[in-house]
Amino acid sequence: MSHLAGKRILLGISAGIAAYKSAHLARLLKKAGAEVRVVMTEGAQAFITPLTLQALTGEAVRTSLLDPEAEAGMGHIEMARWADIVLIAPATADLMARLAHGHADDLLTTLCLATQADCMMAPAMNQAMWRHPATQDNVTRLTEYGWRLLGPDAGDQACGDIGPGRMLEPEAIVAMLFAPADNLPLESASASASIDSAPDDTVSLDALGLAITLTAGPTREPLDPVRYLTNHSSGKMGYALAAAAARRGARVRLISGPVNLPTPAGVERIDVESTNEMYEAARQSAIDSDIFIGCAAVADYRAERFSEHKIKKTSGDEALELRLVKNPDIVAAIAVAEPRPFVVGFAAETRDVESYARDKLVRKNLDMIVANDVSQAGLGFGADENAALLLWRDTTSESGRLELPPQSKATLADAIITTVMERFHAKQREALQTPQQDTP
């Protein structure tokens, strides 16, 4: 179950070109199990229609403070009390200024003054407007009043400028709703941020907009209607990786074997049972993925024949013979597919960890591999902690090895995703710098 399940979210939309993203944001919030009601400013309706948001949320969209029907029951106060979270996305410079100075001249600003909910906003404006001292003064006021700013991101803008001010992608916003404040971009989390801060001064959103497919957990190979072959994987490492990637702004699709874990915020989850089911889901998902991470503990073999009825113990038999056949090798198949994503494999070993991992890295044509010794007590399968050895193939550097000591799986996941993103971006830069051969 998502951390957003059952949360009551009041989504405010103000008049910015980024309002088109708000429809997707509303859809993601609903998909995560939240109750969503939308309030739009008058200007927002020039960019996206209330009918669109009503269709996506299943709730009437409020646009006017002086709505006689709603105000008969003090509707704006009721909505302010209803919300667990007030999220404004996009938040324009004008709206930020009005909120910073306590205005209540439309429905959205009135609700914000009246609510005791957690208040968050995703700024969206031209880079010069974001950097202007007046806007930065308003950022200071808003953070002092308890507002939490999600973003902004930096990059190309609709006006043609480049710099900070872009609204975060909806996936990143959903993932950051429950992230601690010290995981937010520094320009947003600190009231004293410099208006000259460069995009590099922000906490990493290096996966922003990237499509990442992860596999996690075990697979089950049925023998008969009541028995199956499986392993001890709990899925904790894969789920921690999915959460870490989503916090960095990636669009994460998690293909999960049977586990008892909640879906991380902002992550799309696909449940499977057998290796063949995981293979088909991974093959389809990898087609439009930038990165594929095969963290699942996949069963290498399955029963050659599935018994339609429970296999009975026969009197006098001291042994039962099962014939097993090979399952498809998921990560190896993705590594030779076209188009090919950046492929990261995992190696759970009990001895000669580095030797086996290096062999797997080359033999399966992987870009990177994460190896761990599952024979160590308190680490690996089912545990809350893990250690890892990261190996990669790199033509631009002699350093292709990083050892990560025992730590919580959540902390380890952040370190692994950091290295994955470093290697992914390095490979992208290398591809751009490599001259293309003319085809004769």
pLDDT per residue over 14-44, tens digit each?
998 899 999 999 998 998 888 999 999 999 9
Residue 300 is assigned to a ligand binding site: yes
Tell me the C-alpha to C-alpha distance, in Å, between residue 228 and each of 64, 222, 269, 273, 301: 59, 4, 23, 11, 11
Mean pLDDT of 242-266: 89
In the set 5, 113, 128, 159, the catalytic residue is 159
Least confident piece of the model among 53-62, 169-178, 229-238: 169-178
| pTM, entire model | 0.58
The Cα 190–Cα 402 span in angstroms is 32
Question: What's the fold here for domain 8-197?
Answer: Rossmann fold (3.40.50)
Which tens digits make up the pLDDT trace of 240-249? 999 889 888 7
Q: Does domain 211-304+326-433 have CATH number 3.40.50.10300?
A: yes
Write the pLDDT tens digit of every residue in 194-226. Answer: 223 323 333 456 677 789 999 999 999 999 999
pLDDT mean across residues, the chain: 84
Is 236 annotated in some ligand binding site? Answer: no
**Quick count: other Cβ atoms within 10 Å of Cβ 389?**
19
Domain with CATH 3.40.50.10300 in the chain: 211-304+326-433
The pLDDT of residue 434: 62
Closest CA to 154 of 121, 135, 120, 126: 126
Instruction: Check whether 95 has a pLDDT greater than 90.
Output: yes
* Cβ atoms 120, 88 nearer than 8 A: yes
- pLDDT on residue 256: 96
Q: Is 346 annotated as a binding residue?
A: yes
331 annotated as ligand-binding:
yes
Residue 32 marked as a ligand binder: no
Please tell me the predicted confidence (pLDDT) of residue 79: 86
Q: What is the mean pLDDT of residues 383-405?
A: 80
Is 85 annotated to bind ligand?
no
The answer to whether 159 is a known catalytic residue is yes
- 181 band by pLDDT with thresholds 50, 70 and 90: very low
C-alpha 345/C-alpha 215 separation (Å) is 10
Please answer whether residues 213 and 289 qualify as being in contact, where contact means their C-beta atoms are separated by less than 8 angstroms.
yes
Lowest mean pLDDT among 84-98, 185-199, 345-359, 362-376: 185-199
pLDDT of residue 3: 65
Give the residue range(s) of CATH 3.40.50.1950 domains in the chain.
8-197
In this predicted structure, the answer to whether residue 286 has a pLDDT above a threshold of 90 is yes
